[in-house]
């Protein structure tokens, strides 16, 4: 059951401080959508608004046709999950305890997770192939592992839509791809995933759809193939960016990669 | 996560609680025999048994009076104060996502102190002392939290919260100083001074009767909500994304912890450190997961204050004020906590 998210004339920001306006956007179910744009264009603000953490300054966010503003918090949490950037400042919970917290929307006010919840949390860890971390302390594992644990928590939440805020930030090169690979697998299993990213390369490689933002609102949205081109990226980031095609691997699969600021300006490859 | 593993976890947990409760009961019993007027173990057991069952008394009235009228209320007060302050401290630490906060650091203790001193100054009854302590304690923590929020842009929210607590605590302390200056030196001043040092010496059954319902009213919701408290420690955005109404839950938790704190401040005066150190020691033993942390904190808090208060009253021929001894014991313990902070919070 893939859920869609739609915004209608959405305006984001804070009272007296508008950030984005007139945004019409459809996030399609069962796919990975990448949200790209320069620093300060309002990606995070849009993210928080789509998650219902920030009130829209105008317009609506619809989750499967229901207005987000009219849904109680617990109900929103059953439909959309949030994977934050890995930050310091957690108490040293065990990995299992962190993942079990994802069960919160399914538990009553005074309840604690039971055997069924432990099973769901265990399955979430297994799906990301990190079941062996269950007993470790969240603060003692590596950054890449923490990111996967936070994704496991979102899986345990059993929400069909998962928002990930720069899931590869602060990860080393190999871990970035490991996490993105896991994200693709999750979407193939039917989940709807929205990631914000600073790397057009990641979107080119792993996202089905892309949303390009510029200061004040959306620039373009559609499938990655249509939307991400040398022209659109150069325009949004304000510098020459050329998308080159590289053949690699068995059967010489063609990959599209970004080359920023090539010598002598943009000459089509 | 097999069923057998879960059963083993439960057995271990039950064993831990059993040991903790056993230790509290034994300490209570042992402490009842200690003091200026020695009463043997057997006599204490008989007196307690007679007291509970209402059987005819065979022992002298003085031993009975010492045990039932003086020691039992005082030991019960030590339990109540230790439990309330440490549970409140653990709650504040999770809610404010800050391992350095405690009732005394958030200004709750000094706020409640100001309220109580004002009530003593106005010669109000015990129930009014408690009510004033609660209102001022809640006022202080609200003020501290709002100040810390107002400077949200700061790089280090933990530091800002602690500093705000120090500032508000200082203002409350100044208020207390004004009242002690104005107080009647023959009647009110000794009461205020003695009370400020923190002591369980004067606690009566009547005090306990008004304090324990307030403590229970504060702690029972905490026990019911104990798993949810974990979610608050993730921060507002994450907790809300997990479906928590953070504003409401924070309000409930802070009001409950403040109620328990003020109720014991009203009968025992300002007793610091407990709310800061005990949750750390408990976290060291059972980890930060709040549904395990809270019971462990409660048991440790009871054991700690029972032990320190018994030392205060029996270690030397003259009673040492509890607040003073507690600071002497608590400060080095806190330094130990600071020294291993990197290990326990990161």
Q: Give A-chain residues touching B234 at CB under 8 angstroms.
A: 90, 101
pLDDT tens for each residue of A208-259 = 999 999 988 899 999 999 999 999 999 999 888 999 889 888 888 888 999 8
Whether residues A91 and B233 touch (CB distance < 8 A) is answered with yes
Could you tell me which chain B residue has the CA closest to the CA of A87? B234
Q: Give how far A23 is from chain B: nearest CA, Å.
A: 22
**Rounded Cα gap, residues B57 and B67, in angstroms:** 13
pLDDT tens for each residue of A104-161 = 999 999 999 999 999 999 999 999 999 999 999 998 998 889 999 999 999 999 999 9
Strand A192-197 and strand A161-165: the pairing is parallel
| Domains of chain B by start residue, with CATH | 16-345 (1.10.3470.10)
| Strand ordering across the sheet containing A217-223 | A80-83, A161-165, A192-197, A32-36, A209-214, A217-223
C-alpha torsion angle, residues B241, B244, B248, B249 (rounded to 10):
-130
Q: Give how far A61 is from chain B: nearest CA, Å.
A: 16
Helix (H) / strand (E) containing A98: helix A95-100
Q: Distance of alpha carbon B7 from its chain centroid, rounded? A: 33
Task: Tell me the residues of chain B between 264 and 303 that have a Cβ less than 8 Å away from chain A.
Answer: 283, 287-289, 291
**Rounded Cα gap, residues B258 and B84, in angstroms:** 9
- Per-residue pLDDT of chain B (346 residues), as tens digits, is 444 456 787 888 889 899 999 999 999 999 988 888 888 888 888 888 887 777 666 656 788 888 888 899 999 999 999 999 999 999 999 998 877 788 888 888 889 999 999 998 998 887 888 889 889 998 998 898 888 888 766 566 667 888 888 899 999 999 999 999 998 888 888 888 877 888 888 888 888 988 899 999 999 999 999 999 999 999 888 999 999 998 899 889 988 999 999 889 888 888 888 998 999 889 888 989 999 999 999 999 999 999 999 998 888 878 888 888 888 888 888 888 777 765 544 4
pLDDT score, position B3: 44
pLDDT bucket at A89, cuts 50 / 70 / 90? low
pLDDT score, position B79: 96
Instruction: Judge residue B305's burial from the number of C-beta atoms within 10 Å of its C-beta, 0-12 exposed, 13-18 middle, 19 or more buried.
Output: buried
pLDDT score, position B341: 61
pLDDT bucket at A2, cuts 50 / 70 / 90? low
Q: Give A-chain residues touching B222 at CB under 8 angstroms.
A: none
Mean pLDDT of chain B: 86
Task: Tell me the residues of chain A between 235 and 254 that have a Cβ less than 8 Å away from chain B.
Answer: none
Per-residue 3-state assignment (H helix, E strand, C coil) for A138-154: HHHCCHHHHHHHHHHHH
Q: Position of tokens 């002298």?
A: B60
* Mean pLDDT, residues A51-71 taken together: 92
Q: Count how many residues are written for chain A.
A: 269
Instruction: State whether residue B319 is helix, strand or coil.
Output: coil
CB B334 within 8 A of CB B328: no
Q: If we measure between CA atoms, which residue out of B228, B235, B214, B5 comes closest to residue B128?
A: B214
Beta-strand ranges (E) seen in chain A are 5-14, 17-27, 32-36, 58-63, 66-67, 80-83, 161-165, 192-197, 209-214, 217-223, 241-248, 253-260
Q: Which of A75, A78, A85, A89 to mutate to test the interface with B (most CBs of B within 10 A)?
A: A89
Could you tell me which chain B residue has the CA closest to the CA of A102? B242
pLDDT score, position A268: 53
pLDDT score, position A265: 66
Whether residues B1 and A118 touch (CB distance < 8 A) is answered with yes
**Burial call A29-60: b when 16+ CB within 10 Å, e when fewer:** bbbbbbbbbeeebbbbbbbbbbbbbbebbebe
Task: Return the CATH fold of A5-227.
Answer: Rossmann fold (3.40.50)
On the CB side of B73, how many CA atoms lie within 13 Å of its CA?
Answer: 21
pLDDT tens for each residue of A166-218 = 999 878 898 899 899 999 999 998 899 999 999 999 999 999 999 999 988 89
pLDDT score, position B109: 87
pLDDT score, position B202: 80
Q: Position of tokens 């309840």?
A: A111
pLDDT score, position B289: 94
Domain ranges of chain A: 5-227, 239-269
Q: Which of B234, B245, B288 sits opposite A101 (nearest CB)?
A: B234
pLDDT score, position B152: 65
pTM confidence score: 0.89
């Amino acid at each position: 059951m893939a859920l869609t998210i739609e915004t209608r004339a959405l305006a984001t920001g804070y009272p007296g401080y508008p950030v984005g306006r007139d945004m019409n956007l459809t996030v399609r179910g069962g796919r990975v959508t990448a949200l790209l744009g320069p620093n300060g264009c309002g990606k995070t603000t849009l993210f928080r608004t789509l998650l219902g953490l920030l009130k829209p300054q105008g317009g609506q966010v619809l989750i499967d046709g229901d207005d987000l503003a009219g849904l109680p918090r617990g109900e929103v949490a059953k439909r959309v999950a949030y994977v934050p950037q890995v930050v310091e400042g957690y108490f040293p919970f065990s990995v299992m305890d962190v993942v079990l917290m994802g069960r919160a929307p399914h538990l009553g006010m005074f309840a604690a997770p039971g055997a069924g919840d432990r099973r769901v949390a265990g399955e979430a860890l297994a799906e990301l192939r990190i079941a062996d971390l269950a007993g470790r302390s969240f603060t003692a594992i590596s950054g890449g592992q923490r990111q996967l644990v936070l994704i496991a928590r979102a899986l345990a939440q059993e929400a069909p839509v998962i928002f990930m805020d720069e899931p590869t930030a602060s990860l080393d090169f190999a871990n970035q791809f490991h996490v993105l690979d896991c994200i693709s697998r999750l979407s193939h299993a039917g989940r709807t995933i929205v990631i914000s990213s600073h790397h057009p390369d990641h979107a080119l490689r792993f996202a089905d759809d892309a949303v390009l933002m510029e200061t004040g609102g959306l620039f373009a949205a559609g499938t990655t193939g249509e939307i991400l081109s040398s022209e659109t990226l150069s325009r949004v980031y304000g510098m020459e960016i050329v998308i080159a095609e590289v053949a690699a691997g068995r059967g010489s699969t063609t990959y599209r990669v970004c080359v920023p600021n090539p010598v002598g300006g943009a000459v089509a490859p | 996560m097999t069923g057998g593993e879960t059963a083993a976890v439960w057995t271990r947990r039950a064993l831990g609680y059993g040991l903790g409760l056993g230790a509290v009961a034994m300490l209570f019993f042992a402490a009842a025999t200690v003091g200026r007027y020695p009463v043997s173990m057997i006599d204490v057991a008989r007196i307690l048994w007679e007291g509970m069952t209402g059987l005819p008394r065979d022992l002298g009235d003085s031993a009975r009076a010492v045990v039932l009228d003086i020691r039992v209320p005082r030991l019960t007060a030590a339990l109540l104060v230790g439990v309330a302050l440490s549970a409140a401290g653990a709650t504040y630490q999770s809610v404010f996502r800050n391992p350095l906060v405690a009732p005394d650091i958030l200004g709750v203790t000094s706020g409640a102190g100001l309220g109580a001193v004002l009530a003593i100054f106005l010669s109000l009854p015990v129930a009014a002392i408690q009510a004033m302590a609660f209102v001022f304690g809640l006022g202080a923590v609200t003020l501290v939290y709002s100040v810390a929020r107002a400077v949200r842009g700061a790089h280090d929210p933990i530091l800002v919260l602690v500093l705000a607590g120090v500032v508000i605590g200082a203002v409350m302390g100044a208020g207390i100083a004004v009242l002690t200056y104005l107080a009647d030196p023959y009647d009110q001043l000794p009461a205020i001074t003695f009370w400020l040092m923190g002591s369980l010496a004067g606690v009566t059954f009547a005090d306990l009767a008004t304090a324990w319902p307030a403590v229970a009213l504060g702690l029972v919701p905490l026990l019911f909500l104990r798993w949810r408290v974990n979610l608050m420690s993730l921060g507002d955005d994450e907790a809300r994304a997990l479906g928590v109404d953070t504003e409401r839950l924070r309000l409930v938790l802070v009001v409950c912890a403040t109620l328990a704190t003020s109720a014991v401040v009203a009968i025992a005066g300002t007793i610091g450190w407990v709310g800061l150190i005990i949750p750390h020691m408990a976290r060291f033993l059972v980890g930060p997961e709040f549904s395990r942390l809270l019971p462990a904190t409660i048991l440790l808090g009871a054991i700690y204050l029972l032990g320190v208060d018994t030392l205060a009253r029996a270690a030397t021929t003259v009673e040492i004020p509890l607040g003073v001894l507690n600071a002497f014991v608590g400060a080095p313990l806190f330094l130990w906590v600071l020294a291993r902070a990197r290990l326990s919070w990161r």
